[in-house]
């Protein structure tokens, strides 16, 4: 459910016991490389796994036992680093949270969940900062037309502009649909029968012909049944890929295309 949230989809990946081992390993490797910032997981990731640099663990519901809490919270604050452990709970779960505090001999700081008005206030402050005059943007050329539009439409025009800006702010326009990694975008290597790209090693050899000087910057590689492979590459290298395809420096039997921006892959 969380992984399908429109705000989390571009910047998170999931990890659970029903995934095949190779997919789990790829996800863990990408998370350690900081290819995406948020890992949504079950207790599978709470034992025996070390993630340097994790600043925050959020418990979507309170753990059932003290031991479970300790293992989950222990994924942050590794070594000498600091970290936060945040437990989300409602009134019916207060007893469980009290038992955890007693078990670890710590008292949690409490904070109410922000209501809709607080969330909106934060969004408006961010938009005000974006819209405030600055050296980066000179809006003087639009002042006369802006006055006319305000006379015609009044506050409704500003409200619509703020809604549009909010919508754009929530869309990570250049976060990869494949991994959520910023500055990357996936390309599709079409080889549905796996005749030419039979493994990731074959994919890397193919990519070396497309990006001879930048193949080390290739991100996540995912096999997709009846399609071929999805490959994350830096946005600035997309034009190089298609120039190489046009020049036929790679096998013509493998068709290369962009992934549509409205597609999502897990």
Per-residue model confidence (pLDDT) at position 169: 60
| 89, two tokens | 């709970």
CATH number attached to the domain at 184-258: 3.30.70
Cβ proximity of 192 and 221 under 8 Å: no
**Tokens 């070396």, residue located:** 208
Determine the 3-state secondary structure of 187 from DSSP.
strand
Domain with CATH 3.30.70 in the chain: 184-258
103 CB contacts (<8 Å, ≥6 apart)? 66, 69
Alpha helices in the chain (DSSP H): 21-32, 66-73, 94-104, 116-131, 143-153, 155-170, 200-210, 238-246
Q: How far apart are CA 28 and CA 191, in angstroms?
A: 26
Region class of 177: left (phi > 0), else alpha (psi between -120 and 50), else beta: alpha
CB within 8 Å of 215: residues ≥ 6 apart:
204, 207, 208
- The tens place of each residue's pLDDT in the chain, 266 residues long, gives 566 666 677 788 888 888 888 988 898 888 888 888 899 988 877 677 778 788 899 998 999 999 999 999 988 877 667 889 999 998 889 999 999 999 999 999 998 877 778 877 887 887 777 777 666 667 778 888 888 988 998 888 888 887 777 666 655 455 677 777 777 888 999 988 888 898 999 999 888 888 877 778 888 898 888 889 999 988 778 878 888 887 776 666 788 888 754 444 44
| Six token digits for residue 8 | 């989390």
Residues of each domain in the chain carrying CATH 3.40.50.300: 2-104
Q: Cα(126)–Cα(109) distance, rounded to whole angstroms?
A: 27
pLDDT on residue 266:
44
DSSP-assigned letter for residue 64: S
Chain-centroid distance, C-alpha 4: 11
pTM of whole model > 0.75? Answer: no
Cα 49 from Cα 209, distance rounded (Å)? 36
What pLDDT score does 262 carry? Answer: 42
Strand 56-59 and strand 84-87: the pairing is parallel
The pLDDT assigned to 264 comes to 46
Give the position of tokens 């996540």.
220
Tokens linked to 252: 């013509």
Question: What was the pLDDT predicted at 36?
Answer: 85
Superfamily of domain 2-104: P-loop containing nucleotide triphosphate hydrolases (3.40.50.300)
Torsion of CA 78, 176, 26, 216, to 10 degrees: -90
Distance between CA atoms of residues 110 and 98, nearest Å: 12
């Amino acid at each position: 459910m969380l992984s399908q949230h429109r705000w989390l989809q571009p910047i998170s990946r999931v990890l659970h016991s029903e995934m095949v081992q190779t997919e789990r390993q790829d996800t863990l490797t990408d998370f350690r490389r900081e290819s995406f910032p948020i890992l949504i997981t079950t207790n599978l990731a709470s034992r025996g796994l070390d993630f340097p640099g994790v600043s925050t663990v959020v418990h979507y519901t309170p753990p059932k036992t003290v031991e479970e809490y300790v293992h989950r919270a222990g994924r942050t604050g590794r070594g000498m680093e600091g970290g936060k452990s945040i437990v989300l709970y409602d009134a019916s779960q207060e007893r469980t949270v009290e038992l955890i505090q007693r078990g670890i001999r710590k008292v949690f700081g409490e904070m109410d969940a922000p209501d809709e008005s607080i969330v909106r206030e934060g969004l408006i402050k961010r938009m005000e900062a974006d819209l405030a005059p600055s050296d980066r943007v000179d809006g003087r050329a639009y002042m006369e037309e802006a006055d006319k539009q305000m006379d015609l439409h009044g506050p409704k025009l500003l409200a619509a502009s703020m809604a549009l800006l909010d919508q754009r702010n929530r869309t990570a326009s250049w976060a990869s649909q494949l991994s959520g990694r910023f500055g990357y975008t996936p390309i599709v290597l079409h080889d549905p029968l796996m005749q030419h790209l039979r493994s990731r090693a074959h994919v890397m050899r193919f990519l070396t012909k497309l990006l001879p000087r930048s193949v080390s910057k290739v991100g996540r590689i995912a096999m997709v049944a009846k399609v071929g492979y999805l490959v994350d590459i830096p946005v600035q290298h997309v034009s190089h890929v298609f120039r190489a395809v046009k020049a036929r420096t790679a096998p013509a039997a493998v068709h290369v295309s962009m992934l549509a921006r409205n597609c999502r892959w897990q």
